[in-house]
Amino acid sequence: MKYYITKERFEELKTELERLKKEERSEIAERLKRAKEYGDLSENSEYTAAKDEQARLEGQIIELENVLRNSEIIKKTSGKGVIQIGSTIEIKRKDKIFKYTIVGSQEANPESNFISNESPLGRAFLDKKAGDIVKIETPGGTVEYKIMKIG
């Protein structure tokens, strides 16, 4: 699977991965060492909790490594004329103007106007041009958007 992310988000994920590998791993190793000093591991809840936390952390590290390995950096696409991942668009619905940036699913944040290329809305706008009318089926009926500007 390809993950489309901005260069900034890629750097954030790299930093997070390094933090998990260096700081969190050593904290858990220290917890495991202390827990082993309590004796019998079969009835040691501190040891069990630390092992569970270690498993969670290693899963998180594997996931981040996978995302970074399979990432494609989004390039700013202004001036291309068609909507692509990385495009910032202005659309009109009825009398309201909305501004969205199409991003990969790893960066989607609708509250901040970053919509995923995999979402119904994001997918509907891909490869469209300014002036195009886009119709999207929703549970409440068909919603129509006019693409005003691609930036």
CATH of domain 88-150: 3.10.50.30
pLDDT digits (tens, 9 = 90+) for 25-69: 999 999 888 888 877 666 778 888 889 999 999 999 999 999 999
Tokens coding 74: 């989004």
Quick check: 51 and 32 in contact, CB under 8 A?
yes
What residue ranges do the domains of the chain occupy?
3-73, 88-150
Q: Examine the pLDDT at 78 and tell me if it is beyond 70.
A: no
pTM: 0.69
- CATH architecture of the region 3-73: Orthogonal Bundle (1.10)
Tokens coding 151: 């930036």
Strand, coil or helix: what is 63? helix
Q: Examine the pLDDT at 23 and tell me if it is beyond 80.
A: yes
Cβ-proximal residues to 83 (8 Å cutoff; 6+ apart), any chain: 89, 102, 125, 126, 127, 128, 129, 147, 150
Residue 11: its pLDDT value, please? 94
Residue 81: its pLDDT value, please? 84
pLDDT digits (tens, 9 = 90+) for 87-136: 999 999 999 999 999 999 889 999 999 999 999 999 999 999 999 999 99
Confidence label for 18 from pLDDT (cuts 50, 70 and 90): very high
Higher pLDDT, 34 or 14: 14
Quick check: 105 and 120 in contact, CB under 8 A?
no
Tokens coding 12: 């954030």
